[in-house]
Amino acid sequence: MTKLIQWQQIEDSRVILRLDLNVPHKNNTIESDFRISKSLPVINELLKRNNKIIILSHLGRPSVEKKEPSLSLHVVCDHLSAMLGEPIKFINQITDKITFGEHRIVMFENTRFYKGEVDNDPELAKTISSHGDVFVFDAFGVSHRQESSTTGLMNFLDYAPGPLIQSEVNTAKSILEDPKKPLCTIISGAKISTKITLIETFSDKADHLILGGGLLNTYLQCKGFEVGDSLVERDLPQEVLSFFESESAKKIIMPTDLVCSADASLDYPQIKSISMVQSNDKVLDIGTKSIQRYAEIIKKSSTVFWNGPLGYVEKKPYDNGTESIINVLADSNCFSVIGGGDTVSVIENMGVQDQISYISTGGGALLKYIEGKDMYVIEKLGL
């Protein structure tokens, strides 16, 4: 029978360490090493206690049959090795016998290259477990997935939550259970139907709700405003329509102006009041007056939770709203939490990540936790 233990007490052992090193990369170059950097503390602490480390992670969603070379963890292995200043031995096959030699760390190839991983195959978990003495789970981004390298290993080895997942869960709990008020919540995305549970969860807790992207466009359309050829969700479920008519929806802060473009190339932006958007316009960002209004709310807030950029940040100048609000947040004294997604990339590019109170490594997992979805890994870890 396996049991829950404390990771700080692990010494002189072979530690199988599940991390979330699923990072954006292109042409063998890591585009963001945010998640990699967050893995350094647990690795360094385990090494201090004379442990050997066996790292597991996935990368993307590869086909088991094809095992695309572009989704190999080799590039991540090299990057992590450089950040640690420590050589890491790369192992291609999960069945290969591990010989550390002069190495203290080894990394297996992408776990999703192995048949049975996503199906939580116990035989695969048993094979993986044979390489180690104990299992440390520190991959918050996959804490909502039952796979061989997540929950599967807990059936064969004593297991412990790492410091990162503990931090993630504690931060989420602080926002859900006892946020410092006033609380401002910023939520964006393409479809409001996929975020309505998140919005409803915060609607009772938040003092202000700010919507962005397709969520805002859909809300404006429901309120009778023209949104033209913008990203909008047409067929709304009754749950969304009911929420828009509820008392809680009054917490949604209406923008006063928007940045639009009627040009197919989106090269000619115009700032328009929300009542002046035309049928051939695309709404792509919030305008300067809206930025000022949101900024004043944030400056008076004690807690801000943000998930998703406010505009079409892939093309300038439609990233202005998002970047402006990030600067306001960075200069404020509030407790700020960024719930993953493209907002993190913008913050990194601006170089203000150290001025944000907390940036989550697991956007999807964090949202599921806040929404109250089944998080078997977290329950198993006693968090």
Q: Inform me whether the pLDDT recorded for 82 exceeds 90.
A: yes
63 or 15, higher pLDDT: 15
The C-alpha angle with vertex 337 and arms to 332 and 138, in degrees rounded to 5, equals 140
Query: 7-161 and 169-370: same fold?
Result: yes
Prior bond of 255 cis (ω within 30°):
no
- Stretch among 17-21, 109-113, 160-164, 367-371 having the lowest mean pLDDT: 367-371
> pLDDT band at 170, cuts 50/70/90?
very high
Q: Inform me whether the pLDDT recorded for 340 exceeds 80.
A: no
Asked if 216 contacts 223 with a C-beta cutoff of 8 angstroms, the reply is: no
Please give the pLDDT value at position 204.
87
Q: Which of 353, 364, 18, 32 is nearest to 164 (CA)?
A: 18
Round the average pLDDT of the chain to a whole number and report it: 94
Give the mean model confidence (pLDDT) for residues 328-340: 93
Please give the pLDDT value at position 67.
81
CB burial of residue 383 (10 Å; 0-12, 13-18, 19+): middle
Q: Each residue of 182-215: pLDDT tens digit?
A: 999 999 999 989 999 999 999 989 999 999 999 9
Q: Which fold has domain 169-370?
A: Rossmann fold (3.40.50)
Q: Inform me whether the pLDDT recorded for 264 exceeds 90.
A: no
Give the mean model confidence (pLDDT) for residues 271-277: 96
| Rounded Cα gap, residues 344 and 348, in angstroms | 6
Please give the pLDDT value at position 94.
86
Which one-letter amino acid corresponds to residue 285?
Answer: D
Give the mean model confidence (pLDDT) for residues 48-68: 92
| Rounded Cα gap, residues 381 and 368, in angstroms | 17
Prior bond of 161 cis (ω within 30°):
no
Q: What is the pTM of this model?
A: 0.91
Tokens of 166: 């503990």
Q: Each residue of 350-373: pLDDT tens digit?
A: 999 999 999 999 888 998 999 888
Give the mean model confidence (pLDDT) for residues 115-129: 96
Q: Each residue of 289-329: pLDDT tens digit?
A: 999 999 999 999 999 999 999 999 999 999 999 999 999 99
Please give the pLDDT value at position 158.
98
Domain limits of the chain? 7-161, 169-370
Which one-letter amino acid corresponds to residue 125?
Answer: A
Question: Tokens 């960075």, residue?
Answer: 330
Give the mean model confidence (pLDDT) for residues 92-118: 92
| Rounded Cα gap, residues 37 and 17, in angstroms | 15
Asked if 211 contacts 187 with a C-beta cutoff of 8 angstroms, the reply is: yes
> pLDDT band at 69, cuts 50/70/90?
confident
Tokens of 317: 């100048």
Alpha helices in the chain (DSSP H): 34-38, 40-48, 74-84, 122-129, 163-177, 196-203, 213-222, 238-244, 288-299, 320-331, 342-350, 363-370, 376-380
CB burial of residue 61 (10 Å; 0-12, 13-18, 19+): exposed
Domain 7-161 sits in CATH at 3.40.50.1260
- Residue-by-residue DSSP string for 286-347: E-HHHHHHHHHHHHT-SEEEEES-SS-TTSTTTTHHHHHHHHHHHHS-SEEEE-STHHHHHH
Please give the pLDDT value at position 360.
94
Question: Tokens 């792509």, residue?
Answer: 284
Alpha helices in 49-195 (DSSP H): 74-84, 122-129, 163-177
Which one-letter amino acid corresponds to residue 358?
Answer: Y
